Chain A
């Protein structure tokens, strides 16, 4: 499965495409289960990039754990949570708060 991720142009914050917009957390990201869905996400990413909403758009591997979308690779897990050495920073801190 794949999801679409990028960084928001104005502040660089990591975002994921979910439900017609760019969410600041990964949990509800739109999942692509097949090539056609991946192509659809990629087209959305290319358009958002061209519209200057986001930069560095990528399709990444994801899985669903307990009903929540999670990235597969460590790099993407860290993007989705924040630095592992500072649990007071990044998405993980916002979740805790």
Chain B
């Protein structure tokens, strides 16, 4: 994986020193909160309901064992023994004292981590497919390009005070696991007919109060032009994006209001001025960054097939986990493993200090020291020999992280909601827990099949509810929590925004409503191969409305 060079080291150390000084000056009263707030936000420090919150960047979701161990150490030493992995592939700590944050940042810097640009109106942590480098279906590893974007966007002087935050995601596979069409810029790395690498470029996707699916503005951008083209997009946005209304300040609004043809023309015109200048990426530089992401040397491990076959016979639990949480690797002797942070009734995305350390040990022993954080709030071991899968499973069972529910209804994305977040209008975690418990039976979950359920505790949509097959949005109505349901959303290569199905449900009603929706689907699907989203796209909302609300209409 990428290792800091001298410049990176100096840059992060300088930022730790600078922010430590700012914290000291704040604590001594030398600077006011108004002066300090933008400075702390540039360093990932928020103020939430109970305490400060520190958001730490995990660039493109990639970690090594040493880094994950350090996160466990921070959880134990400075926080309350756990951390929360987020939909931006980052991690948040919920209870740090401001006075401890300089020490936390120094600890992070010792393992090449930081919290820079995890907040503020700048280019945020660039996200990528969590199976990057391992997936059997990718044209190339998207992370070298995410790293190039990270280097380019870090304290970029022109793009540090944008109209609003700006998020970029990159995938290297046809099957989009990075939700690129819900990002300000989505990049699909692919090969053209000549075998050259380049990107399909999407802009203007986003969620929040105005969800929009990104529009493709270029089918093939040569890799050398990545930075000049992104610069052109950002320039057009920085110039014309609205600054008068924060709810209309994201690039999605500009794309919508300007029209995709006109904005494409503007971007292309800007790009003509830039494309042959200093932003053109020299091939040698791309290949040098790529070398950092060279896959581990994967020795032949042909004994895996037999080992897996035997272990399956021996353990039903292993067999189910294998079917659900283990995916094909580009090397036939290997697999990529999803470590579910969605144990039945657990808080989605939370991991304890000791779990983080144990997972780091597993990664070191069995997975070439590589880990990923997925935007679905799970951890990934991208390269595990099939022969070692049983040992990995057994180790995960010991720490309570072997739940075999990847992509099933209990693999819920949930924001922290009103239990932690100062912006939230309703709780989301307890709803996730109740739904997870209602559908606890793995057999029932497998019978239902792939179903992406996503919950947000406010309209900002951190829980991605708009693109859940089933989405739940918690709002406050007359002093109570009310949960609105959307159906038909999706965050893959066929991205769609879910439709509100009808009136909302109270916290007591919502789990029953979800069960009604699921039962309705089971009753109308053409067979187990027709997953929820496909069935919904075929039949539309009517049968679900009928099942949820028909009784009311008759009663009225």
In contact, A79 and B49 (Cβ under 8 angstroms): yes
Interface-lining segment among A5-13, A26-34, A37-45: A5-13
Within 8 A of B (CB), among A31-78: 49-52, 55-56, 73-75, 78
Q: With A78-B419, A85-B419, A85-B429 in contact, is A7–B99 under 8 Å at CB? A: no
Give chain A residues whose Cβ lies under 8 Å from the Cβ of B29.
Answer: 51-52
- Interface residue B496 (Cβ < 8 Å from any Cβ of A): no
Q: Which residue of A lies closest to B99 (CB)?
A: A10
In contact, A13 and B427 (Cβ under 8 angstroms): no
A75 to B418, CA, bound (A): 7
Partner of A79, one of B26, B33, B50, B98: B50
In contact, A55 and B33 (Cβ under 8 angstroms): yes
A86 to B79, CA, bound (A): 14
Partner of A10, one of B80, B97, B347: B97
- Interface residue A83 (Cβ < 8 Å from any Cβ of B): yes
A69 to B224, CA, bound (A): 64
Digit string of B43-86 for contact with A (CB within 8 Å is 1, else 0)? 00001111110000000000000000000000000001000000
- Interface residue B376 (Cβ < 8 Å from any Cβ of A): no
Give chain A residues whose Cβ lies under 8 Å from the Cβ of B50.
Answer: 12-14, 79, 82-83, 90
Digit string of B289-313 for contact with A (CB within 8 Å is 1, else 0)? 0000000000000000000000000
In contact, B27 and A9 (Cβ under 8 angstroms): yes
What is the distance, in angstroms, from B44's C-beta to the closest C-beta of chain A?
14
In contact, B419 and A84 (Cβ under 8 angstroms): yes
Q: With A82-B50, A83-B419 in contact, is A49–B33 under 8 Å at CB? A: yes
Q: Count the B residues whose beta carbon is within 8 Å of the partner chain — how many?
A: 30
In contact, B97 and A12 (Cβ under 8 angstroms): yes
Q: Which residue of B lies closest to A88 (CB)?
A: B80
In contact, B26 and A9 (Cβ under 8 angstroms): yes
In contact, A11 and B49 (Cβ under 8 angstroms): no
What is the distance, in angstroms, from A92's C-beta to the closest C-beta of chain B?
11
A83 to B480, CA, bound (A): 17
A73 to B422, CA, bound (A): 13
What is the distance, in angstroms, from B178's C-beta to the closest C-beta of chain A?
29
Give chain B residues whose Cβ lies under 8 Å from the Cβ of A7.
Answer: 47, 51
- Interface residue B407 (Cβ < 8 Å from any Cβ of A): no
Digit string of A10-27 for contact with B (CB within 8 Å is 1, else 0)? 111110000000000000
In contact, A78 and B429 (Cβ under 8 angstroms): no
- Interface residue B433 (Cβ < 8 Å from any Cβ of A): yes
Give chain A residues whose Cβ lies under 8 Å from the Cβ of B480.
Answer: 74
- Interface residue B527 (Cβ < 8 Å from any Cβ of A): no
In contact, A74 and B49 (Cβ under 8 angstroms): no
What is the distance, in angstroms, from B522's C-beta to the closest C-beta of chain A?
29
Digit string of B447-482 for contact with A (CB within 8 Å is 1, else 0)? 000000000000000000000000000001001110
A contact patch SS: loop
In contact, B98 and A11 (Cβ under 8 angstroms): yes
Give chain A residues whose Cβ lies under 8 Å from the Cβ of B429.
Answer: 83, 85
In contact, A13 and B51 (Cβ under 8 angstroms): yes
Partner of B433, one of A55, A75, A82, A85: A85
In contact, A9 and B98 (Cβ under 8 angstroms): yes
- Interface residue B541 (Cβ < 8 Å from any Cβ of A): no
Digit string of B92-118 for contact with A (CB within 8 Å is 1, else 0)? 000111110000000000000000000
A53 to B47, CA, bound (A): 15
Q: Which residue of B lies closest to A83 (CB)?
A: B419
A83 to B427, CA, bound (A): 10
Partner of A12, one of B80, B98, B424, B433: B98
In contact, B47 and A74 (Cβ under 8 angstroms): no
- Interface residue B222 (Cβ < 8 Å from any Cβ of A): no
Give chain A residues whose Cβ lies under 8 Å from the Cβ of B418.
Answer: 74-75, 78
What is the distance, in angstroms, from A97's C-beta to the closest C-beta of chain B?
14
A51 to B28, CA, bound (A): 10
Give chain B residues whose Cβ lies under 8 Å from the Cβ of A14.
Answer: 49-51
In contact, A74 and B98 (Cβ under 8 angstroms): no
A18 to B514, CA, bound (A): 44
In contact, B420 and A83 (Cβ under 8 angstroms): yes
A51 to B32, CA, bound (A): 9
- Interface residue B430 (Cβ < 8 Å from any Cβ of A): yes
A83 to B47, CA, bound (A): 15
A74 to B95, CA, bound (A): 20
A70 to B52, CA, bound (A): 23
Give chain B residues whose Cβ lies under 8 Å from the Cβ of A75.
Answer: 49, 418, 424
A7 to B32, CA, bound (A): 15
A10 to B33, CA, bound (A): 12
A58 to B369, CA, bound (A): 47
In contact, B427 and A84 (Cβ under 8 angstroms): yes
A85 to B457, CA, bound (A): 14
Give chain A residues whose Cβ lies under 8 Å from the Cβ of B52.
Answer: 11-12
Partner of B347, one of A50, A79, A85: A85
What is the distance, in angstroms, from A36's C-beta to the closest C-beta of chain B?
27
A14 to B420, CA, bound (A): 12
Give chain B residues whose Cβ lies under 8 Å from the Cβ of A78.
Answer: 49, 418-419, 427
Give chain B residues whose Cβ lies under 8 Å from the Cβ of A79.
Answer: 49-50
Q: With A52-B29, A55-B47, A78-B418 in contact, is A85–B97 under 8 Å at CB? A: no
Give chain A residues whose Cβ lies under 8 Å from the Cβ of B49.
Answer: 14, 75, 78-79
In contact, B27 and A89 (Cβ under 8 angstroms): no
Having A12-B50, A74-B480, A89-B80, one finds 18 other A-B pairs with CB under 8 Å, namely: A7-B51, A9-B33, A10-B97, A12-B96, A14-B49, A52-B26, A52-B29, A55-B33, A74-B476, A74-B479, A75-B418, A75-B424, A78-B419, A83-B50, A85-B427, A85-B433, A86-B347, A90-B50
- A interface list, Cβ under 8 A from B: 7, 9-14, 49-52, 55-56, 73-75, 78-79, 82-86, 89-90
Q: Which 7 A-B pairs have the closest CB atoms?
A: A11-B97, A12-B52, A52-B29, A83-B419, A12-B51, A79-B49, A85-B429
A and B contact pairs by CB, cutoff 8 A, 5 listed: A12-B98, A50-B32, A75-B418, A78-B419, A78-B427
